[in-house]
A and B are shown apart, each in its own frame.
Chain A
């Protein structure tokens, strides 16, 4: 069994899970939701095994390092963290239907990595040879994943809130499956409550690493600046809850914009701007 095969199984599993969640949403048959979450858990186990296996394979090649060193590995890891955060949310709150809005993010990541990215195991360039790599990447991506989940919940919130005034209850059978907007608002806040400390830790570990490797904890490199932009947006979100006129839909939009900024910080900076984080590979 190779990690590559297991990653393919994972991708397939996430696809099935997503389709089951969609079917659950459309049919309101409870068993489909249960099947969806079980498939997602199965995929998570397969993916965890594959990540460990790839780690071991890198040692077999004599270039041993944690599988977090290039775009392929980071996209895989991002996808893994999204399902992990969703699984934790599900264990605690059991709102199955959220899976229909979160699993697509995980599937998108896996499909892109498996179909479009170079999966070769490369040795670490000198700049990445540090234990800080692990701490920095793990905290950042867990934070990103929590924001992805919050974004999915915010989309649900906006759909549900948009139908709130709808008198014709028969026409919104699917939306009736959604948790009440008060609950969605609360879950959105809770997901960001998990993501924000992790992002903060990610920025701090990045600063500590930069200080250790270059003697500057902050140099306004585009990646650093964008992570700060993301931090500002979610800081605004957290304060929005105490500000009149900023609750509800506006807060949901802030959460979605925050995730947009997160994705730009993660991918856009590497693809469109130049800087110290080189895994984008186009420069």
Chain B
């Protein structure tokens, strides 16, 4: 490796492990995240496109603003943050690790001067006896000490919660774990949506990325209902679902109640109550142009039905009361579309209370049969969010680690106490990684108690 290359790598490492980069990334992420809360995410609706200029639209699309949390630059920033926190951790970890695993066990004069808290007590007597007493004292009041003898001087070292110095690295690790969980979810899981009509079932759902996904089992909707409070506000959206596998209902998964905030999970796939609607049968009669030979005709929901003359028909929309759309008319009506075997399709209204209008329409269009509308039945469908996310437990693990790590990092402190017994003096020193003020109070009390102990016993 040439000198230049080494220099380059060195400065690259310095940059990626710098806290200045951390500050920059955190603030940049905070500021840039605002964009996606102002510009609608997902394919922009027509009204929005009409609002903004074509150039702006082009710019937004180019920058990925309509899906900004998945845009290359946002993902890049998340990667940089990951690199940064890994590099920062690796840079600082060896020193911290040494502090934990190979602590300074003797109280040198240099260390004594560096400590914020230190007290020297005059004490005469047998040094070894004093050592035993201080060791018992530390064990009783703080933690069991490590005792070292150097040239007839005794050094005692005791500490509490040294590992809490690692907690901040666990917080950093937890962020990476959450990212891994999110990646597992997006690689091996799916999110989708399905509508199931009462009395019907599905075995496939469409994912949000428009892929058809085979569930490997069937889900039937027995019933859907909405309950209201007396005020009219919705109280409960309820689907009764049954899971069917190999043509048989699965025991324990029959007639399961699914409401908002109470989903159904089977084989890792979960169904969430999300929306609902009505898709009933539409009833018509079809007769000769003179009004005779009336035969009932049922159109199932959104599907098409074949008419005797070879054309097909489906219902676009129906209402119980046409008067709100067409003045002077009343009663139920359906808007239908007819596709003749050859020729252009046409849309028209079929009425329940106005047979003369239905006949007139048939006459105007030549030989066609006469349609009369007889109404529709209420048939609800339930809209279910469907999801499988094998990464979610990894995310929760990361979250748990993060919370534990943050609590340990903020509220736990590595506290150390050194004692040196030398030439008729006992010197006690100490420090803490957090909460210096609190430690000072603790240290002063400890030193005072040691002092009284000596004045009581050595005299």
Chain A residues at the B interface, C-beta cutoff of 8 Å: 63, 122-123, 125-127, 129-130, 132, 186, 193, 196-197, 200-201, 204, 207-208, 211-218, 220, 222, 225-226, 228-229, 232-233, 235-236, 239-240, 242-243, 246, 261, 269, 273
Q: Are B263 and A193 in contact (CB under 8 A)?
A: no
Contact sample, A vs B, 7 pairs, CB 8 Å cutoff: A126-B236, A126-B237, A127-B261, A196-B410, A228-B33, A232-B26, A273-B37
Q: What is the predominant secondary structure among interface residues of chain A facing chain B?
A: helix
Does chain A have a CB within 8 A of B49?
Answer: no
Task: Report the separation of the CA atoms of residues A273 and B396 in the bound assembly, to the nearest whole angstrom.
Answer: 29
* B234 in complex: contacting residue of A126, A201, A239, A240, CB < 8 Å: A126
* B30 in complex: contacting residue of A123, A127, A217, A261, CB < 8 Å: A261
Does chain A have a CB within 8 A of B20?
Answer: yes
* B402 in complex: contacting residue of A63, A200, A211, CB < 8 Å: A200
Task: Report the separation of the CA atoms of residues A134 and B407 in the bound assembly, to the nearest whole angstrom.
Answer: 21
Please name the residue on chain A nearest to B40 by beta carbon: A274
Chain B residues at the A interface, C-beta cutoff of 8 Å: 19-20, 22-23, 26-27, 29-30, 33-34, 36-38, 41, 69, 182, 191, 229, 231, 233-237, 259-261, 263, 270, 272-274, 385-387, 389, 392, 395-396, 399, 402-403, 406-407, 410-411, 437
Q: Are B19 and A232 in contact (CB under 8 A)?
A: no
Q: Which residues of A contact B387 (CB under 8 A)?
A: 215-216
Task: Report the separation of the CA atoms of residues A208 and B178 in the bound assembly, to the nearest whole angstrom.
Answer: 13
Q: Which residues of B contact A222 (CB under 8 A)?
A: 37
Q: Are A127 and B260 in contact (CB under 8 A)?
A: yes
Q: Which residues of A contact B30 (CB under 8 A)?
A: 229, 232-233, 236, 261
The answer to whether A236 and B37 touch (CB under 8 A), given A123-B233, A214-B272, is no
The answer to whether A273 and B38 touch (CB under 8 A), given A123-B235, A201-B403, is yes
Q: Are B23 and A246 in contact (CB under 8 A)?
A: yes
Task: Report the separation of the CA atoms of residues A220 and B20 in the bound assembly, to the nearest whole angstrom.
Answer: 27
Q: Which residues of B contact A228 (CB under 8 A)?
A: 33
Q: Which residues of A contact B274 (CB under 8 A)?
A: 214
Task: Report the separation of the CA atoms of residues A170 and B23 in the bound assembly, to the nearest whole angstrom.
Answer: 39
Q: Which residues of A contact B385 (CB under 8 A)?
A: 214-216
Q: Are A213 and B406 in contact (CB under 8 A)?
A: no
Instruction: Give the distance to chain A from B109, nearest Cβ to Cβ, in Å.
Output: 29
Q: Are A243 and B20 in contact (CB under 8 A)?
A: yes
The answer to whether A215 and B23 touch (CB under 8 A), given A225-B37, A273-B38, is no
- The 4 A-B pairs with the shortest beta carbon distances in the complex, nearest first, are A215-B387, A232-B30, A126-B260, A236-B26
Q: Which residues of A contact B272 (CB under 8 A)?
A: 213-215
